[in-house]
Structure 1
Amino acid sequence: MDFLPAPLRGVIASLLLALNTIVCCTPLFVVAIFKLCLLFPAAQRLTDWLMSHIHEAWISNNKAWMKLVRNTRWHLSGLEGLDYQHSYLITSNHQSWVDIMVLQYVLNRRIRPLKFFLKQELIWVPVIGLAWWALGFPFMKRYSKAYLAKHPEKKGKDLETTQRTCDKFRNNPVGIFNFVEGTRFTESKHAEQNSPFRHLLKPKAGGIAFVLDAMGDQLEAIVNVTIHYPDGRPGYWDLLCGNVREVVAHFEEIKIPAQFIGSNYDQDGEYRLEFQQWINRLWEDKDLLLDRLHQEYPQKR
């Protein structure tokens, strides 16, 4: 649809996205009802399989309208070793909400559909909470430091709850996703943090450590993704309008160090410091890689 004006492409893509969501959520919720009612193992396996494929179909349909509005040039590397039958923890630098669509576009059916850890309270959000639950998104229970100060007997209970939630992945491959920076990169946030990195915000090790604490022994590796947009950081409307002309993404599979499996980030100060230093080294390498990508694929605006 390159011949159409960008705003019209954006409207068409928005309608296609909405239609795709309605079409895929309808069978998803029907299957979810069966999942709620039929609790025996064979039915649970069947409903999980159906919902996973509905999730992948939703992503595939999104890929179709993305190709329709713009034939984006993709520069991809490091995907060779990924296996659909393995579980991974995926992380990436975060510049835009487009990052999520990029990751889904590239990783769909290479590994299992990406899932995010969500606060337990979000399961009660109308409609979307049911969708997250149906798709198997893991819900975690976290206690604040203030609450733990008043109720020390609850220490470690949040991790136990999350580990029980993750037990369902023990024999089912999964792709767990976490943005280590915690928020999107902007120049103002970069300056406010006084970030030591040129292209990145400071990493927040707690989120990824919590995933490893809960299910580290189930994960094949960490997939460390570095994304660069030669046209500049796009907004979601840019994606809908077909203004994302080029995407560079490098994927690096990193084995999880043995000392980071089976530890407790919140309660082990020595482990916490070692883990933070390890994440910082990964971010230093990512910053150097982004330097090279900016030179190889210079920004055009």
Structure 2
Amino acid sequence: MRLSGFGMFGIVCGLLFLLQLLWSCFFAATLLVLLVRLFCRFLGEKGLQISEFVRSYALKMVQLNILTYAQKVAGLRVVLYGDRVQEGEGSFLVISNHQSWLDTIILTLVLIKQYPTALCRYIGKKSIGYIPMLGWMCLQTGALVSLSRKWSYDKGRLEQELKKLRGLRSDFWVVTYPEGTRFSWDKKAVSLDYAKKNDLPRLNNVLVPRFKGFFACMRLLHSRLSFIYNATIIYEGEEDEKGVSRINLAKIFFLQRSQSEASPNQRQVFPVAHVFLEKISIDQVPFEEKSCRDFLMTIFENKEKLIKRFKGAESFGVKSLTANLELSFTQVFEGTLLLWIFSLIGFFIFWFSAVELRNFIAVQMIRFYPIRV
């Protein structure tokens, strides 16, 4: 399926969205949060709790802003299968295959819709932290545990962050991609070669998972985890001749249409994402190293079968839980009007403040929000 050009309307929508996202990240989710954190320093233990809540809520509003644009403007549609996430069921780890940069947007929608009160955490590449404002926010709120893909360096950092997470009072969910990178033809070839040399099953739709990070999560977080959710994501159509997904961020930000759409007035401009969730009790996960490795490999063998079945029949073989998982009105309000109101408050505080106060704020921002790598 070939794709048409971007179109002026899509370019305008995408640029306006990115500009307002940067505006909101700076004035609401960074500057305003910084002022609240400075004030909370004088409140002792209670202030620390308030500060953590404010930082988490600011990140949540930005996430909802992105999801609202994806659904209400770009027409994102997520079809959910398998098990539902139940609010209040405790903390859990989400293991997913990785096909696109959009996978995290899809999983965040699924999780924030079903368990909005839990803290969110992502384990990902440190390059994500370089994204202006949004990446820095994820680092400074603790939402992103950044890794370099070098285990000798990542081991100590990952263990440190997981111990902090284990000590939190609130429930949380952690999203991790054991493949370590997005699925592509070149990486598939490397994965198949590794599987052959190590006498592992041949996987054509996912990569052989990396084990050490997953085992570290199990070893350090098992006392806090209630479940593991095995998430399998596949996008409807949009594959090249080698079976690799063509999905990219341009499709959501700039409303890129496909030539196969029957009607020019059709609202859906974004490919449909299908997500299968399998709920696994933490009691079923072995904690001996070899058994845990086999457990993870079995999970990815099952993902391979699910994706192969879907590609053959455009179905996982079970009835969907929902044909389109959508944000609630309250969540849309939080991600748009409420975020913009806070952004305006932050803007007016900065604009009408004296030069000395602006310099003080700038110094404090560097102190509170250093670029960590």
TM-score by length of 1: 0.77
**Higher normalized contact order (CA 8 Å, seq sep 6+, divided by chain length):** 2
36, 47, 58: which is aligned to 2:51? 47
State whether residues 10 and 237 of structure 1, in contact with CA within 8 Å, keep that contact through their aligned partners in structure 2: no
Cα distance per residue 1:134-168 (max 9 Å; x no partner): 42336589997778xxxxxxxx9667634542244
Flag the 1:129–1:289 CA change in 2: closer, same or farther, 3 A: closer
Secondary structure of 1:220's aligned partner: strand
15, 30, 33: which is aligned to 1:31? 33
* Residue matched to 2:189: 191
Moved more, 185-194 or 35-44: 35-44
State whether residues 88 and 219 of structure 1, in contact with CA within 8 Å, keep that contact through their aligned partners in structure 2: yes
Give the distance between the partners of 1:21 and 1:284, measured in 2 at CA: 40
230, 245, 256: which is aligned to 2:236? 230
Displacement after TM superposition at 1:7 (Å)? 5.3
For 2:252, the aligned partner's letter is L
Give the distance between the partners of 1:106 and 1:122, measured in 2 at CA: 21
Displacement after TM superposition at 1:289 (Å)? 1.0
* Residue matched to 1:240: 253
Displacement after TM superposition at 1:293 (Å)? 1.6
Give the distance between the partners of 1:277 and 1:133, measured in 2 at CA: 32
Give the distance between the partners of 1:220 and 1:99, measured in 2 at CA: 23
For 1:103, the aligned partner's letter is L
Gaps of 5+ in 2: 196-201, 239-244, 256-268, 316-373
Displacement after TM superposition at 1:86 (Å)? 2.3
Query: Are 2:16 and 1:15 equivalent residues in the alignment?
Result: yes
For 1:215, the aligned partner's letter is L
142, 158, 176: which is aligned to 1:178? 176
Displacement after TM superposition at 1:190 (Å)? 0.9
For 2:223, the aligned partner's letter is D
Cα distance per residue 1:19-67 (max 9 Å; x no partner): 1242144233232454366352211222222222222221222122212
* Residue matched to 1:256: 282
Task: Output aligned runs, 1:1-301, within 5 Å.
Answer: 6=7, 8-29=9-30, 30-35=32-37, 38-39=40-41, 40-84=44-88, 86-111=90-115, 112-117=118-123, 131-137=137-143, 139=145, 161-169=160-168, 171-194=169-192, 196-232=202-238, 233=245, 234-242=247-255, 243-257=269-283, 260=286, 271-297=288-314
Secondary structure of 1:281's aligned partner: helix
Point out the structure with max Rg over C-alpha. Answer: 2
For 1:200, the aligned partner's letter is V
State whether residues 162 and 217 of structure 2, in contact with CA within 8 Å, keep that contact through their aligned partners in structure 1: no
**Cα RMSD (Å) of the superposition?**
3.5
State whether residues 128 and 135 of structure 2, in contact with CA within 8 Å, keep that contact through their aligned partners in structure 1: yes
Cα distance per residue 1:175-195 (max 9 Å; x no partner): 111111001111221122215
Cα distance per residue 1:261-295 (max 9 Å; x no partner): 5xxxxxxxxx3322111101111111111122212
Secondary structure of 2:114's aligned partner: coil
Displacement after TM superposition at 1:250 (Å)? 0.9
Give the distance between the partners of 1:176 and 1:37, measured in 2 at CA: 30
For 1:208, the aligned partner's letter is F
Displacement after TM superposition at 1:101 (Å)? 1.2
Flag the 1:138–1:85 CA change in 2: closer, same or farther, 3 A: farther
Identical-pair percentage: 19
Give the distance between the partners of 1:16 and 1:141, measured in 2 at CA: 29
What is the number of equivalent residue pairs in this alignment? Answer: 277
